[in-house]
Every structure is written in C-alpha cells, then in structure tokens.
Amino acid sequence: MAVDLRSALQDEAEEEERAVDGDAPAHHPAAPPDELFDLPTTVDPSYIISLIRKLLPPNQTYNSCSSGVDGNNSQKSSSDSIEEKRATLDNTRVQDSANDFAETMDVIDDNKESACEEGKVDGESGCGNGLPEASTLEEVWEGNGCILWDLAASQTHAELMVENLVLDVLLANLTVSQSTRVREICLGILGNVACHEVLVKSIVSTKGLIDAIVDQLFLDDTQCLCEACRFLSLAIQCNESITWAEALLPDHVLRRLVWIAENTLNPLLLEKSVGLLLTILENQQVASILLPPLIDIGLPNVLFNLLAFEMSQLTSEKNLERYPVLDVILRAIEALSVTDDHSDKISSNKELIGLVCDLVKLPDKVEIADSCVTAAVLMANIMSDVTDLAPVMSQDLPFLQGLLDILPFAANDIEARNALWSIIVRLLVHIKESEIGFSSLYQCVSVLASKCDMIEEDLLDHQTDSFIKHGSSEGCEIKPNVIMALKRIISILHQWKTLKDNAEENSLSEKHHVDGSLVDKLLHCCERYIKC
C-alpha cells in the first residue's frame, strides 16, 4: 500500500510541476482534456471534490487517544448520512469517503512518526501504535480546509462544492469537532458560500445547519465568533433573512450576541458583532422581529457605552485598528435613530449628543472621515426629533466649523450632504445677526470666511443631481435647505460689513479682523448660486 501510494504521490507531484510550468498554481492543477465537467474554471473539479472528501470528520478511533473507546455515534451517523447522499451522485465524481480518509492516514504515516507509542503519549493513555498525532491530522485537515475556504469565494467553485455535499461535511464537523480552528475554517467556508445569494437557500435547506451555526455564537474563541458574526451578517442580507431572524430570536441567543459586543476586548470581534447588530437594524423585516427584544435587553445603552469608550480611546491615543469600530458603532446608533418606535431612546440621551458633538468638533478628521460623516447624519436625525436643540447648538461655533469641515468628506454621499446642510441651516436660522453683539458676529463671520473654499468647492462640485433639480419650468433650482443656508450666510456677511464700517469709523475693529477678500469671495459665491 505504501509503495503504491508513494508512486501515486510522485505522479501527482509531476502533474503539479507541469501545472506550474503552464503558469497555473501548483495547488490548482488544470483539468485534463477528457474531464467530464463542463465548468468555466481553471481548477480541476475532481480536485475540489477530493478536498471535500478529505474534510469528512474521522472516526473516533483516529481523533481520540482515549483507550477503550468504540467510536462516536454522532460521527458515524453524520458520515453515514453523507455517504448515503454521495451514493446517489455520479461515481466518476464522488468516491467512497472512507477510502479517501484512509489515503490521508497513509500519507501521514509515510511522513510522520506515530503519535502514540506503546499506548503512552506524554503520560496519557495512547490510542495504539501506528496512528497519527491528533495535531498532525488537524494540520492536514486545516490545509485542505483553507484551500476550500479560498475557492469558495468564486461562485462557480462554491456551486460545485454545494453540489457535492460540502454543507453536509461542514455540518458534521461543526457537530463533532472539538477544534476551534476546524470550526473557524468551517464557518469561513460557509461565509464565503453565503456571499453568493443563490446558495444561501441551500444552507437553509440543509437540516440542522442553521442551529449548528447559531450554536457557534456560544464558543469562547475570538476567531470563530468573528466568522460566525460575518456569516450571519451575510445571511441576514439575503432573501432567506426571515429564517435567520427566527433562528436568532430566542432570548438566550440575542443576549449572547449583545453580551459579545459589550464585553469583547478584541477590536475585530467588536466590529463584527456590532456589524451584525447593524445589519439587523438596517433590514426592516428582520428589525421588526428582533429589534423589540433587543431594546428590552438594553441594546441602546450598550451602544452608548461602546461609543463613550471608543471616544475616550480616540482622544487619548491613536489606534488605527479602532477607527472601523468607531464607525460601525455610530452607524448602528444612526440606524436606531430612524426607527419609528425607538428613536426617542437616541434623541433623549444628552450624553450621546455630547459625544457626537465632540466628534464633529475634533480638529483632525481625515483618518476618521467616515465616522464624522455618520455623526453628522446622526445629529441631523436627532435635531429633527428635538426641536429645541438647534437654538442651543447655534451658540456653539466650533460645532458649526466642524460641520463645514465635514463637507468634503460627504462629497459622494447625497444623503449625508443633505443632512449636513440641514443642520447648517438650522444653526444659521437661530443666529440673529441684527441682535448679537459685534464680538459674537465677528466670531461667526470668522468661521464662515475661513471655510469659504470648502463651501464654494462643495457648491461647484454638485451643481447637478445632489443639489439642483433639473427639468422644472424655471430652469434649475437649488434644494430649499441649501438656498436658505446661502441666504442666511449672505445676511450675516452683509450685517458684518455694515457693522465693520461703523466700527472702523470709531476705531473699534482692531481686535476683530477678518480677511475682507474672503468675506467678499464667500458673499459673491453665495449670491451667484442663489441666482442660478
């Protein structure tokens, strides 16, 4: 057996070498000319099928070193079920999995020494002579699994894998394997399969797979939890979203999900878990099922606390890996702020409003540009609910300056830009230029003049769809909130110019100097766009 196997391995190595000479990856050998499969892929389908067979969970004899064990019934039943399904497929495409696993065992035996000698391994009971180390077996499994993980990113390959019972094989591993690495790879493959919406129905129809995947949320391994959250986020965005919502509905499952987000110290897992919550909130059908119990569990407060922590991290130290976390938390809060029955949980939280304002006012926004845009949209939603907030915020000129700083970052987001201008006009409406003192008016004009280029560039870059409506009988029309904002800026600048002239006559403007050329430039820009 070993001699024949070495010969077969040598032939396989020669095939791989020929594949390399033909500029094809050695581990992705080209399909032979007489291949029966008619698929648009450079990967031999039989190679993919062989990898699937190699992922079949071994019998208890192979993966346990416990003496006197007859075998695991659940493993046998899983393997038997898969073999029964395989028996219905073309024999040229699927061969007996037990023979394939035996081949894997022989490969290990030819390259590694036995893990168990005379019934003892490191002082523990052995599993007999001649059997591989569990770690070695897992390494072989891991190598095959990682190849399938990558291949599943292609829909053609993923369809072939599903057609050849990869879902049943993954279910068997999730059910019986005690290895977190094996579970992570299974979830990773499933996540890539779920990227192809046409295959999600196959996942749903595989009996027991939904429950097995949801059960992975109760693991304590960070990487497994990341992959579980990634998969569920993808699944909820597909046509089968209601099925997954119902799977997540049990109280202990939702509490576990919120607990993970609240307690993890790993930035990636925090991003993935909150990302899953965000996906739930953004899907109206799913949110109608899961949002009420999530609110009862205390989701809003959890999100507020997470935002407070990320803001403290942001102001105390520079940590690039936390920036995506900040953004996904803000997006989740923003999604919650537009829900009809629960928006008051956001708009009534003064601490949250303070945190959002602090983010908008940060001087260096380039690295957190997305978060700042999300914060502006969130603030626009809050101001729509809290009518008495705008008069208070209009006195906070650094906040107005921060909003103007965000304009360039929202250049390609119509919704965000509209939100920004809606806040700006709300603030400017409450600045009574004829009633405030010279010093206060100077501060306001200084902010506006210093952002003259940003305002002009924003208007210039978006003369079409985002701001201007075409096809009306009057030609072009700038959107109302922008028109009103520009009118308010013009009024403030005219008042400043009048008061400044009087102040100069009385020698009162020495400490209140604003570049007159910027004021004139901004004034001209606003007047020109109003006349559009």
**Cβ contact 228:187 at 8 Å:** yes
Q: State how far the alpha carbon of 360 is from the alpha carbons of 258, 332, 405, 526, in Å.
A: 27, 17, 9, 24
- Which of 34-48, 158-172, 232-246, 265-279 is predicted with the least confidence, judged by mean pLDDT? 34-48
- pLDDT given for residue 11 in this prediction: 53
Q: How many residues does the chain have?
A: 532
- pLDDT given for residue 506 in this prediction: 53
Q: State how far the alpha carbon of 45 is from the alpha carbons of 31, 190, 197, in Å.
A: 7, 19, 21
How far from the centroid of its chain's Cα atoms is residue 474's Cα? 44
Confidence (pTM): 0.77
Task: Please give the Cα distance from 173 to 187 (Å, whole number).
Answer: 10
> Which pLDDT band, with edges at 50, 70 and 90, does 373 fall under?
very high
User: Of all residues in the chain, what percent carry a pLDDT higher than 90?
Assistant: 54
Say whether pLDDT at 65 is over 50. Answer: no
Task: Please give the Cα distance from 181 to 166 (Å, whole number).
Answer: 18
> Which pLDDT band, with edges at 50, 70 and 90, does 403 fall under?
very high
Tell me whether strands 120-121 and 124-125 are parallel, antiparallel or unpaired: antiparallel
Say whether pLDDT at 19 is over 90. Answer: no
Say whether pLDDT at 147 is over 70. Answer: yes
- Which range among 149-153, 504-508, 527-531 has the greatest average pLDDT? 149-153
Task: Please give the Cα distance from 410 to 4 (Å, whole number).
Answer: 65
The number of beta carbons lying within 10 Å of the beta carbon of residue 402 is 22
